[in-house]
Structure 1
Amino acid sequence: MNDKPASEAAQSAVARLLGRASEDEELQQAARHIATRADDLRALTGSVFVFRLGGEWLGLPAWMVDEVIEPRPIHSLPHRREGLVRGLVNVRGQLTVCVALESLLQLDLSRPAPERGRNLLSKRLVVLSAREQRLAFESDEVHGSHRYDPTGVGNVPGTVALSDSPFSTGVVAVGERNAGLLDGDLVLSAINRRLG
């Protein structure tokens, strides 16, 4: 029968907690915090797929990427010895042209790779699907899709490999690293011209 006073004490503590009126200042601070967070999220209108080729972190528009899968055997094509086409790869029963994106972008893959990040996927086949066309390329590491504020895109520094590239549109911060943004339409057009 000693449970009754303890139970009443707990109920009165709960009643006091629930019955406590919030201070006006606390409510205003909470409202400001929520409004600021909503504004921050509304500004994230860009979406980029981030990956690494050699020592360069790059980003393509996320709408271009259909899937990311384990590497597959690439079958070379006769009479295709140029640097862009690696060959054909089987993606879910469909033969897909696999390109050497680093060749198109003229990246130096001998540059030392950065330390591998946590929770990142190593060597992957990235499958693009755009303009009724499917292409694939091998990436050394995949960071995935990220949203960003387009007004926060910086200029490409002159020290970066893509500084003179016509495919580069800027640099975006993704977590602790910067990724060079690529113009997806220009990349596709250049690939199609070279595939002829």
Structure 2
Amino acid sequence: MQIFTEHCWNTIGVSGDSSCPELKTVIHCRNCNVYGAAGRTLLQREAPEGYIEEWGEILAQEWKHQSKKKTQSSVALHTYESESSEILCLTIFRVGQEWLALPVSVIKEITPCCPVHILPHRSNHVFLGIVNIRGEILMCISLRDLLGLPHVDPVSSKTKKSLTLGGRSGISPVVYQRMIVIDIQDNRWVFPVDEISDIHRLSSDQLSNTPVVIAKTPDTYTKKILHIDGKQINYLDHELIFYELLFYTLNRS
């Protein structure tokens, strides 16, 4: 192959008059050995005097700056985490006249009410039966009876006061009953509720300890107390509820 002068691609190549005979074979200068050899020569050339030292100092200063910035950010984040409280996301709902809350992490789905099928000799006041949630058969429980909440007549009126977490209480035109599917340790249960209010994000500082009288009651499932718009909301201990369901509920008559 003919060896052409330096930068021949700018004279007789694609950037010149395209008169190079090699273009018939290589189509473009970037496919030519001469062009490739010139590129390797450019990359392998000796660095100018002081070039390496200059860039060494620049990179060293940049590394020190980034390291200092990272250290400051880490200290600030650690200080923030140590001084700030835990952030919780809770789903708030109503059963009877009681407002309750569970962490969003254990709630897999909120669905319209489905027919509950009673199991002979197994269903009781807590274990209501089984429901079909889009082809999946799940056990349905009565959270009202498990918590020992009083039974109240369902509200037939289409206008009732409802808890609004936007900062004020309002008039809800229609209140729909729903079913909540919970998943705790890969075990799923369903329970009906009278109303779904909202998903609320709050700091753990906003939760109060349960009163001593409630805390010492054997059948209490309240972990913390939350007050919103004058409403008392019981933050339930979902792990305690799970173990109660797993070990006791299905054995009750």
Aligned to 2:162: 116
Q: Distance in 1 between matches of 2:206 and 2:174?
A: 24
The TM-score with structure 1 as length reference comes to 0.68
Q: Which structure 2 segments of 5+ residues have no match?
A: 1-83, 164-171
- What aligned pairs does 1:53-132 form with structure 2 within 5 A after superposition? 53-110=95-152, 115-117=161-163, 118=172, 122-132=176-186
140, 144, 148: which one pairs with 2:202? 148
CA 83–140 in structure 1, closer or farther in 2 if over 3 Å, else same: same
Q: Is the Cα–Cα contact under 8 Å of residues 123 and 139 in structure 1 kept in the other structure?
A: yes
What is the CA-CA distance between 1:111 and the residue it aligns to? 7.8
What is the CA-CA distance between 1:174 and the residue it aligns to? 3.8
Q: Distance in 2 between matches of 1:122 and 1:74?
A: 17
- What aligned pairs does 1:152-163 form with structure 2 within 5 A after superposition? 152-156=206-210
Q: Distance in 2 between matches of 1:74 and 1:67?
A: 17
What is the CA-CA distance between 1:148 and the residue it aligns to? 1.3
What is the CA-CA distance between 1:120 and the residue it aligns to? 7.9
218, 226, 233: which one pairs with 1:172? 226
Q: Which structure 1 segments of 5+ residues have no match?
A: 1-41
The TM-score with structure 2 as length reference comes to 0.54
- Please identify runs of 4+ aligned residues in structure 1 that moved more than 4 A: 111-114, 157-160
Larger radius of gyration: 2
Higher fraction of strand: 1
SS at match of 2:240: helix
RMSD of aligned residue pairs (Cα, Å): 3.0
SS at match of 2:233: strand
Q: Distance in 2 between matches of 1:111 and 1:155?
A: 31
- Of residues 133-142 and 105-114 in structure 1, the stretch that sits farther from structure 2 once superposed is 105-114
* Structure 2 residue identity aligned to 1:172: L
Higher relative contact order (CA 8 A, sep 6+): 1
Q: Distance in 2 between matches of 1:61 and 1:111?
A: 28
Q: Is the Cα–Cα contact under 8 Å of residues 178 and 193 in structure 2 kept in the other structure?
A: yes
